[in-house]
Amino acid sequence: MNRLTSCRILLLVGALLCSRPAFAQFDFAGQWVPLFHEDYPDRLPGPELGDYTGLPINDAARLRADSWDADRISIVSEYQCRPHGADYSMRGLSNMRIEAVIDPATQQQLAWRTRMNFQEMERTIWLDGRAHPGPNAPHPGRASRRRRGTPT
């Protein structure tokens, strides 16, 4: 066997080894419980006011943060019953369930669906490359709870 054939075989074997599927996939599905020991100051009491360390913010964002008033929840009547968003709950006191959304025809995973136990907030994270809904698209949050018969 000559040297050129050996190099071709070596390159073919290398390409085959690089093209095999990764073994690092992780299944997120299941019940998740918050642990408050990992970054305690950021989770429960929160950082000191005005501490923006590690946040890539500009002057406009700093002005908005510095002028924010925590009392607006109790002063502004339309905010009194406003729930925290699903993003907040992932770092809060609530347990979370994650389910895979599978296409029944192809058995390919289309999305992750998360559900927070606190205020029954749900979110679907689509993985199939679909376009974002337009600005006038209906928000599924309240409507989906009404369809399921859950009080809003």
pLDDT band at 151 (very low <50, low <70, confident <90, very high): very low
For residue 102, the cross-strand partners are 109
Pick the more confident residue, 119 or 88.
119
Residue in 121, 130, 126 with CA at minimum distance from that of residue 102: 126
pLDDT of residue 148: 46
Cβ neighbours, 10 Å, residue 74 = 9
> In the block, which residue shows the tokens 């070596």?
10
Q: Could you give the percent of the chain with pLDDT greater than 70? A: 68
Query: Two tokens at 109?
Result: 């995973």
For residue 97, the cross-strand partners are 31, 115
- What CA–CA distance (Å, rounded) separates 99 from 151? 22
Q: CA 88 → CA 84, 95, 113, distances in Å?
A: 6, 12, 16
Give the mean model confidence (pLDDT) for residues 54-66. 89
Give the mean model confidence (pLDDT) for residues 48-60. 84
Alpha helices in the chain (DSSP H): 3-18, 40-43, 59-67, 72-75, 86-89, 140-148
- Mean pLDDT score of the chain: 76
Pick the more confident residue, 83 or 13.
13
Query: Two tokens at 122?
Result: 């749900």
Cβ neighbours, 10 Å, residue 121 = 21
Tell if the pTM clears 0.85, that is, is over it: no
Q: Where are the domains of the chain?
A: 25-148
108: Cβ–Cβ under 8 A, 6 or more apart, which residues? Answer: 102, 128
- What CA–CA distance (Å, rounded) separates 45 from 21? 43
